[in-house]
A and B are shown apart, each in its own frame.
Chain A
Amino acid sequence: MIILETKDLMKIYGKGDTAVHALDGVSMKVENGEFVSIVGTSGSGKSTLLHMLGGLDRPTSGRVIVDGQELFKLKDEELTIFRRRKIGFVFQNYNLVPTLNVYENIVLPIGLDGNTPDKAYVDAIIHTLGLERKLQNMPNNLSGGQQQRVAIARALASKPAIILADEPTGNLDTKTSQDVLSLFKVTSRQFKQTIVMITHDEEIAQLADRIVRIEDGQIVDGGIHA
């Protein structure tokens, strides 16, 4: 079953001579439960692509369909709600709310949606990621690896259709990167999550089921599931 699909995605910054084609007709598909990594050099358009996939930014043209819903047909408010229900994010700089403790951060998207967290499910995630003892801590008291694990827990907690990870290991040293990523992979298997991760690190990318390469805003390899 296809959980994520893009069709002829275009994003152009600027006009006329100075126009930059950040995305130049990207079409790709992701199966449910798949772990896909998107690689490319900086400026290749991979971050822009991820922002489009997550509905954070609107494309110039083209479509993004997540779990059967075409994202950009939604109004801002609806899009935000769709996003917090269907898409989990993991960012390079973690993006934890500095004024909330670890547990509050993890259940925040669920609360924003007006739901009470599935206690057993959240506990299982916390256990798998080894965060039991850190629940009352504030984010700035945690190491980078720990913060990223909290971010992963937050992304998983709302049982999204898909998790988008933007250079999740970009701020971590090699050892921690490996740890975090394998945890990422384990939890996604355990909780049957689809993951799309962008990275410029080939080694990290190899951990994925499939690698999509992007150059100058166009997919050069791996766009359609084999």
Chain B
Amino acid sequence: MLKVNSKRTIHLLAKSSFKASRMRNLFAIVAIILTSLMFSGLFTVATSLVASIEESTMRQVGGSAHGSFKYLSKAQYDALKTHPDIKDISFSVVLGVGENKELAKHPTEIRYTSGENNAKGMFSMPTTGKLPQNDEEIATDTLVLKQLGVSAKLGQKVTLDYSLAGEKISKTFTLVGYWTGDKVMQASQAWVSKSYVEKQLANYKPSKQGYDVGLINADVNFKNSFRIESKLQKVIVDSGFSLDDIDYGVNWAYTGNGESLDISTIVATVGAILMIAFSGYLMIANVFTISVANDVRYYGLIKTIGTTPKQIRKLIRRQAMWLCFIGLPIGLLVGYLVGMMLVPIVLSIMNTDVIKISAHPLIFILSSIFSAVTVFVSVSKPSKIAAKVSPIEALRVTDNSAGSKRKIKKGTKVNLWTMAYSNLARNKKKVVLVSISLSLGLVILNATYSIANSFDMDEYLSRSIMNDFAVGDVSNFNVNLNYSNQDTLSEGFFSELSLQEGIESINNIYFTEYEVPTGPRFVDIPKQLAKEYGADSKRVEALKRYAQEPKQLLHLYGLDEGALQKLILLHGKIEEQKLYSGKYVIAAPFDAQGNILYYAIGDKIQLPDPTGQMREYEVLAVADIPESISARHSHPLTPTFYLPSQVFLEQIEQKAPMLSTIDVQDSAMEKMERFLADYSTNTDQNMEFESKASLAAEFENLQKTLKIVGITISILVAFIGIMNFINSVITSINARRRELAMLQSIGMLNKQVIKMLTLESTMYILLTIAATLTIGSAICYLGLNAFTAGAAYMKLYFTVVPSLLCLPILLVIAIIVPVMCQKVISKSSIVERLRKIE
């Protein structure tokens, strides 16, 4: 009996009421756009982040395949390749490693590849030319060509040296293909033809021991990247091998290696989703609650005619759905664009170089689902209210839908303030909703300003750079690259640098690392750590293990005078004379505060000189090196020492500097920047530089973008809040036209009516400001605190000034609206208004 087909009638009612609520529709659409915008922005940033980190990892690993089988024989490969789980499989065979001295710093593998798929998977497919076919052909990347001094042109001769079975071979090939090399990758490929490799390997017996020359390296892709390891194992077992027979590896770009999927990322993402859903809920629910409150009579009316509560809910849901159809696509699109703007900023905060903006369909699917759910959850409460409207209540006239439960009013004082207050108290819920939606915009504005100003430029710059310029190997500036003593600053560079004008000082930092016996104090470090900082037992346990190793990797710096002065002295005195005598050394502490030491003042340490003889040094002082001029990498236990460059070069090792810091006169700043940019792009691509000016500009840009995005969002949210506010003021005055006329008929002046009405709307604003400054600020502060605590370069800065600056605007609106309303209303006479029924 309950099931009736009233679709068409509900549709008709929904359509007509949809058409009649233009203002509500506008607000709701803006609210829905904002909600879906924030969702799709968030998901764009999140997926792009994962994709960028994934891509960055893949490029370091040197391949995009899900996994690989290593050191296979031809028979093994043929057995594996037909497995039904495998989506595609390809392989390459290593012939050797380029041994030209020009390639010493640039690992280059000589291989043949099974084809285009394999080369593409290894990011090494020629973009110009083709893969080699005959014995004389070769294809490689521009980095290798540059190192070899061959220009990137097809037909050039390329000579490669390599060893096979202990025999040195040198062969000249013709270049038939090349592609742009990627500095992030750890090794370059030089493709030669299959026939060449097979001929060379004809008499070679491949052995699995340590090296993979002549063996097949197969790259595998599955249908998806879930549980790659177990899929690889299944292929091996299913093909009749045991897991000991065949080596396999999972591309760790797919293993969620800490960066892409750790708990805090998940918590942050879920938190952001909830935040967005909540603010979307506030906005949309407000719009609908106010519209329902205004239309109570309407709902009561259609209820007396026989519309069931269920039908009323359906009626409102249907309208919400239509609004979704309009608002969602716009929001998704704009959100995606905003996300694209934000991705580079977030990535630069996270120190990732590879920027990949994802266009994964999941972004749009998920944000649509989340936005739609938010809309329907937001609408469910107002539609329940509408469904519960008592038909009788609707027959009376309104704006006390919350019901005046007070039976007795205490106190006898009647003035405009108390009247205004009791007018507001008629519908407390509406007042609360309007104030919350107004203060939401203000809170977001405060948060935006606070976040943008929490970025600490000085902290950022001092961590990244201490001089006007810093020059070094690419790997030095990119934490994603493994630094292994590939210092590239050449004499050629320094001689060209010395020709530049306006140089104030050049200070070099030399660096080397090698193993030394574990010092006597190391055993105590874990205990001290636990005592000093109450560090968690996991770290202490790990350190205990490391401290028991017989040898430790030692970091040794040679510092020019200017760099020596930048050391942060913790214990003792840096006496230059002693230091330059070559008998003393400065030691670094275990912790930044200098409470826990590897070596204390007076301790002795033996370091090998270039001939391998041990030399003894005494610790003169304990000091720490600023991050920006350090080697920027460390191990759990890293004993570190500093020597003057002079001593370092004479007594330890003759080598090129790791880093060179340059200070120039202000007038020469731009020239120097141009020189370095030119040199690092055209002459030495392995060299990279950073400049204070460009880092500062980048930083300011980041702040600016953040502000623009944040302010736009807060303006839109505030817009909805203000519209809600104006809407509720106008409707409340409109509903009370008769009552106001009655007040005037018994002697209230028009002026007094206006004053009472403005007092009412001013109270909204005061409530809003109160909510913003108390609850809003508390939430904002806690959120910021958590956010800045986790981020480098951020110092908590919290302000409520922007919201206070908005106060005058809100007050002006609060005064103008009721004044205008009463002006319009008082055009008709009091008697006319009294007689009017509605």
**Which A residues are closer than 8 A to B by beta carbons?**
18, 51, 54, 56-57, 76-78, 80-81, 83-85, 89, 91, 93, 95, 97-100, 104, 108-109, 111-115, 154, 158, 171
A88 to B433, CA, bound (A): 38
**B6 contacts A111, C-beta separation under 8 Å:** yes
**A112 contacts B301, C-beta separation under 8 Å:** no
Q: Which of B1, B392, B407 touches A57 (beta carbons < 8 Å)?
A: B392
Does B2 interact with chain A (Cβ within 8 Å)? yes
Which residues on B sit within 8 Å (CB–CB) of A56?
A: 304, 390-392
**A95 contacts B301, C-beta separation under 8 Å:** yes
**B407 contacts A18, C-beta separation under 8 Å:** yes
Does B555 interact with chain A (Cβ within 8 Å)? no
A89 to B302, CA, bound (A): 11
| The stretch of B9-17, B484-492, B509-517, B580-588 that contacts the partner chain | B9-17
Q: Which of B1, B2, B9, B395 touches A108 (beta carbons < 8 Å)?
A: B9
A26 to B5, CA, bound (A): 38
A98 to B13, CA, bound (A): 11
Which residues on B sit within 8 Å (CB–CB) of A100?
A: 12-13, 16
A71 to B838, CA, bound (A): 32
Does B310 interact with chain A (Cβ within 8 Å)? yes
Which residues on A sit within 8 Å (CB–CB) of B395?
A: 91, 93, 95
A100 to B2, CA, bound (A): 25
The 7 closest A-B pairs by CB, nearest first: A84-B306, A111-B9, A114-B4, A99-B16, A114-B5, A114-B6, A80-B308
**Known A51-B392, A56-B392, A89-B304; 20 more pairs at CB < 8 Å:** A18-B407, A57-B392, A76-B309, A80-B306, A81-B4, A81-B308, A83-B306, A84-B305, A84-B306, A91-B395, A93-B837, A97-B302, A99-B20, A108-B302, A111-B12, A112-B10, A113-B306, A114-B9, A154-B305, A158-B306
Over the window 453-486 of chain B, the binary record of Cβ atoms lying under 8 Å from chain A Cβ atoms (1 yes, 0 no) is 0000000000000000000000000000000000
A13 to B181, CA, bound (A): 87
The smallest beta-carbon distance between B322 and chain A, in angstroms, is 15
Whose C-beta in chain B lies nearest to the C-beta of A86?
A: B306
Over the window 16-48 of chain B, the binary record of Cβ atoms lying under 8 Å from chain A Cβ atoms (1 yes, 0 no) is 110110000000000000000000000000000
Q: Which of B4, B8, B301, B837 touches A97 (beta carbons < 8 Å)?
A: B301
A188 to B584, CA, bound (A): 117
Can you give 7 contacting A-B residue pairs, CB < 8 Å?
A81-B306, A84-B307, A93-B838, A95-B301, A108-B9, A111-B12, A113-B4
The smallest beta-carbon distance between B29 and chain A, in angstroms, is 19
**A77 contacts B308, C-beta separation under 8 Å:** yes
Which residues on A sit within 8 Å (CB–CB) of B16?
A: 97, 99-100, 104
Chain B contact-residue range equals 20 to 34
The smallest beta-carbon distance between B291 and chain A, in angstroms, is 14
**B392 contacts A112, C-beta separation under 8 Å:** no
**B19 contacts A112, C-beta separation under 8 Å:** no
**B307 contacts A99, C-beta separation under 8 Å:** no
Which residues on A sit within 8 Å (CB–CB) of B838?
A: 93
**A112 contacts B837, C-beta separation under 8 Å:** no
Which residues on B sit within 8 Å (CB–CB) of A99?
A: 16-17, 19-20
Which residues on B sit within 8 Å (CB–CB) of A18?
A: 407
Whose C-beta in chain B lies nearest to the C-beta of A57?
A: B392
Which residues on A sit within 8 Å (CB–CB) of B13?
A: 97, 100, 108
Which residues on B sit within 8 Å (CB–CB) of A95?
A: 301, 304-305, 395
A85 to B305, CA, bound (A): 10
Which residues on B sit within 8 Å (CB–CB) of A112?
A: 4, 6, 9-10, 305-308, 311
Whose C-beta in chain B lies nearest to the C-beta of A100?
A: B16
Does B738 interact with chain A (Cβ within 8 Å)? no
A112 to B304, CA, bound (A): 12
Whose C-beta in chain B lies nearest to the C-beta of A144?
A: B837
**A57 contacts B390, C-beta separation under 8 Å:** yes
**A109 contacts B306, C-beta separation under 8 Å:** yes
**Which of B306, B391, B407 has most chain A Cβ within 10 Å?**
B306
**B310 contacts A77, C-beta separation under 8 Å:** yes
Given the interface contacts A56-B392, A100-B13, does A171 sit within 8 Å of B305 by beta carbon? no
The smallest beta-carbon distance between B252 and chain A, in angstroms, is 59
Which residues on A sit within 8 Å (CB–CB) of B307?
A: 80, 84, 112
**A104 contacts B2, C-beta separation under 8 Å:** no
The smallest beta-carbon distance between A126 and chain B, in angstroms, is 18
A83 to B311, CA, bound (A): 14
A112 to B305, CA, bound (A): 9
Does B298 interact with chain A (Cβ within 8 Å)? yes
A85 to B302, CA, bound (A): 14
Does B303 interact with chain A (Cβ within 8 Å)? yes
The smallest beta-carbon distance between A159 and chain B, in angstroms, is 13
A85 to B8, CA, bound (A): 18
Q: Which of B10, B305, B837 touches A109 (beta carbons < 8 Å)?
A: B305
A154 to B650, CA, bound (A): 107
**A104 contacts B12, C-beta separation under 8 Å:** yes
Which residues on B sit within 8 Å (CB–CB) of A104?
A: 12, 16
Q: Which of B10, B305, B308, B837 touches A89 (beta carbons < 8 Å)?
A: B305
Whose C-beta in chain B lies nearest to the C-beta of A51?
A: B392
**Which of B2, B301, B304, B307 has most chain A Cβ within 10 Å?**
B304
A153 to B475, CA, bound (A): 86
Within 8 A of A (CB), among B275-318: 298, 301-311
The smallest beta-carbon distance between B179 and chain A, in angstroms, is 66
Whose C-beta in chain B lies nearest to the C-beta of A84?
A: B306
Within 8 A of A (CB), among B303-338: 303-311
Within 8 A of A (CB), among B386-403: 390-392, 395
Given the interface contacts A97-B298, A112-B311, does A81 sit within 8 Å of B2 by beta carbon? yes
Whose C-beta in chain A lies nearest to the C-beta of B395?
A: A91
Whose C-beta in chain B lies nearest to the C-beta of A83?
A: B306
**Which of A51, A83, A99 has most chain B Cβ within 10 Å?**
A99
Over the window 622-660 of chain B, the binary record of Cβ atoms lying under 8 Å from chain A Cβ atoms (1 yes, 0 no) is 000000000000000000000000000000000000000
Which residues on B sit within 8 Å (CB–CB) of A78?
A: 1-2
The smallest beta-carbon distance between A156 and chain B, in angstroms, is 13
Which residues on A sit within 8 Å (CB–CB) of B391?
A: 56-57
The smallest beta-carbon distance between A129 and chain B, in angstroms, is 17
A51 to B8, CA, bound (A): 29
Whose C-beta in chain B lies nearest to the C-beta of A77?
A: B308
A91 to B305, CA, bound (A): 11
The smallest beta-carbon distance between A114 and chain B, in angstroms, is 3
Over the window 826-838 of chain B, the binary record of Cβ atoms lying under 8 Å from chain A Cβ atoms (1 yes, 0 no) is 0000000000011
A18 to B19, CA, bound (A): 46
The smallest beta-carbon distance between B554 and chain A, in angstroms, is 81
